[in-house]
Amino acid sequence: MRIRPLFNKVFAPAKVNLTLHVTGQRDDGYHLLDSLVVFADVGDRVAVMEADETSLEVTGPMAEGVPTDATNLVWRAAALFDRPVKITLSKHLPAAAGIGGGSSDAAATLLAMAELTGQKQLPAGSVELGADVRVCLMRQATRMRGIGELVDPVTNLPPLHAVMANPRVEVPTPAVFKALPNKVNPPMSAKLPKWQGTKQLIDWIVAQRNDLEAPAMGAEPVIADVLSALAALPGARTARMSGSGATCFALFETRGEAEEAALHLAKAQPDWWVTPATFS
């Protein structure tokens, strides 16, 4: 009797930069960051199943254009384990969107493979798959500094409710960083506040920055339209871009407000990717 192949499936949440302060640039060209990162309840799904040889199938509403060979970070993550698998990546997040889709997919694959193989430690080279893989392995609110290698969990973060929107344009991250006129900007405060609730947290976020917003809007002016549309939604407290764009988000005090606003924006902009989300 044939034994059923082992199978494992892991959620790959969208990574959102609530803040993104560019604080310097190293001699090797890498930029130094200070960012409060959270994860959304929307994302991709990665499934791995034992097989005779490794393969990758990409499905889902955002599958078009996603590579299905060894250039995909998901394949490269699985290849770090000595176990051929069939990988199914269900894409629900837009690509090159500033929400860590590829890095989160890679992190989910590492976690799925570790459980499948019974390995208690991730293989050497896991975090070298990408600058955001380390923080995506955290899968919780995190303060990320340096070039992404310094990650500190942020506990007791109040829930944040949001509308996420992407105009379906890809923004080249290197070009955005290159266009940043000032590479040395103030970091967040040395010690983050102890927020007493969602309203207080949003008030604090409003006073922070994403230093890449202006150069990203220079590369793709439609980002300014997205931010304006989000800020104008009923109940929206603030609107900001995540990462190097083009995904932006508006913050709300309740999930109900976010869901109603998402319906309104999706109707007004049917060509955009729009979804309500909760960040944690």
Active-site amino acid positions: 15, 132
Structure tokens at 144: 């990320």
Which domains does the chain possess? 7-151 (3.30.230.10), 155-279 (3.30.70.890)
The amino acid present at 113, given as its one-letter code, is M
Residue-level pLDDT at 3? 47
pLDDT at 179: 95
Residue 5 to residues 52, 53, 116, 215, 226, Cα–Cα distance (Å): 11, 13, 10, 48, 45
The rounded distance, in Å, linking the Cα atoms of 122 and 76 is 13
pLDDT at 6: 80
pLDDT tens digits, the chain, 280 residues: what are they? Answer: 444 458 899 999 999 999 999 999 999 999 999 999 999 999 999 999 999 999 999 999 999 999 999 999 999 999 999 999 999 999 999 999 999 999 999 999 999 999 999 999 999 999 999 889 999 999 999 999 999 999 999 999 999 999 999 999 999 899 999 999 999 999 999 999 999 999 999 999 999 999 999 999 999 999 999 999 999 999 999 999 999 999 999 999 999 999 999 999 999 999 999 999 999 9
What DSSP character marks residue 20? Answer: B
The packing angle between helices 222-231 and 255-268, to 10°, is 130
Cα 18 to chain centroid distance, Å, stands at 11
pLDDT for the residue 231: 98
pLDDT for residue 1: 44
Contacts of 124 (CB under 8 A, 6+ apart): 80
Q: What is the pTM of this model?
A: 0.95
Which pLDDT value is given to residue 2?
45
Work out the number of other CB atoms within 10 angstroms of the CB of residue 143: 17
pLDDT recorded at residue 4: 46
